[in-house]
Amino acid sequence: MNDSGFWIFAKMSGLTEVETLKTWTVTVSSLAFVGLFFTMVFAKLLPLV
């Protein structure tokens, strides 16, 4: 909860801290897995020579 994006999202969406924490956790985790997936795909398609 020390992420400034968390508080911006909370204030702009009008959610409570608990609701924001539940939503933010899923959002950030999803972004991490998507980033990992694309990193692995690009590492396979564009290997260093």
Nearest to 17 by CA among 1, 41, 33: 1
Tell me how many domains the chain contains. Answer: 1
Pairwise pLDDT comparison (7 vs 49), residue with the higher score: 7
Domain that residue 21 falls in: 4-45
Task: Tell me the pLDDT tens digit for each residue of 12-33.
Answer: 999 999 999 999 999 999 999 9
Pairwise pLDDT comparison (1 vs 44), residue with the higher score: 44
The pLDDT > 90 percentage for the chain reads 86
The pLDDT > 70 percentage for the chain reads 98
Measure the CA–CA gap between 41 and 28, rounded to whole angstroms: 20
Which pTM value belongs to this model?
0.72
